[in-house]
Homo-oligomer: A and B are copies of this chain.
């Protein structure tokens, strides 16, 4: 939704690549670790401790977001947040983002300006010192935002998903199921037939407003990833596909069983187990160690028949596989 008249807000197809990049780059903050920022063939980022953490995650219009629901700001914020969460889940401090944008020609300049604002503000709020240091702009009929995030371990070992040991405590930082609740509100209340329509905040109760915000502009606890690593987390990952699926992945990678306590999963345990896109941090800690900000939700046991239990019963919630679940026709 451009906030200025169309005449002052050209379509991207009527601008050169250089004109669009200039508008975007004027909104980029300086990253603390940048040696060479945008404008050359590549960026150069300091890695004083001798390693770099790198991850990539893409948002595609349709399966990952809808323009009727997400503003440019929302989209930039979310694309930053989901990538920052992957860096945090290794126990690293995010240092830099690279953003590959593929944009339709009829998109307005104000949209990509807001997108750049969303990237900047998400970094400022969730990972101070991190910023966009490079990118690429191309044209596509499908708006696509592919982000790579880099991070620094500051001399620590990376916290992988394979280090959980029997006797460890399983804990989580961040929301479980809130983003999925938000998606359910959007699909249930803000469509005309199959077509998404803009969200009217006046129609939302306070809890629904929070859930929709968690879906559109998630705020995973990025700083707690470092905190968990310093505290001695034995395993960590971000919960992008739902607690059930991701805890199973941690159990499989670690060769253990993870036993959850259903009473710790809030008022709607099925939603907490199945709901994706919260990007909460799931971590295993040695006995007696649970840092502030993490909530204990279970324990690690020796490998058994089932990789995942909840209240000692197998969990038959499958989690979120966007590839299977999305249908371009059904929406």
Q: Which residues of A contact B (CB under 8 A)?
A: 12-13, 15-17, 20, 35-36, 39-48, 50-60, 62-64, 85-87, 89-90, 92, 96, 98-100, 102, 105, 133-142, 144, 146, 148-151, 153, 158, 160-162, 236-238, 253, 321-324, 326, 328
Contact = CB atoms under 8 A, between A and B. Distances in A.
B62 A141 contact: yes
B55 A42 contact: yes
The 5 closest A-B pairs by CB, nearest first: A146-B146, A42-B55, A148-B148, A41-B89, A47-B47
A139 B326 contact: yes
A54 B40 contact: no
B55 A98 contact: yes
B42 A105 contact: no
Give the interface centre of A53, A137, A321 by most chain B CB atoms within 10 Å: A53
A267 B271 CA distance: 67
Contacts of A328: 105, 139, 141
A138 B64 CA distance: 9
A233 B98 CA distance: 26
Contact of A158 (B36, B64, B161, B322): B36
B51 A35 contact: yes
Given A35-B51, A36-B160, A321 B17 contact: yes
Contacts of A105: 328
B322 A146 contact: no
Give the interface centre of A43, A50, A56, A158 by most chain B CB atoms within 10 Å: A56
Contacts of A46: 50-51
A60 B140 contact: yes
Contact of A41 (B48, B64, B90): B90
B51 A44 contact: yes
A41 to B, nearest CB: 4
Contacts of A63: 138-140
A237 B40 contact: yes
B44 A158 contact: yes
A323 B47 contact: no
A238 B322 contact: no
Contact of A42 (B89, B134, B136, B322): B89
A135 B54 contact: no
A100 B57 contact: yes
A54 B142 contact: no
A43 to B, nearest CB: 5
A56 B90 CA distance: 22
Contacts of A35: 51, 158
A264 to B, nearest CB: 23
B50 A48 contact: yes
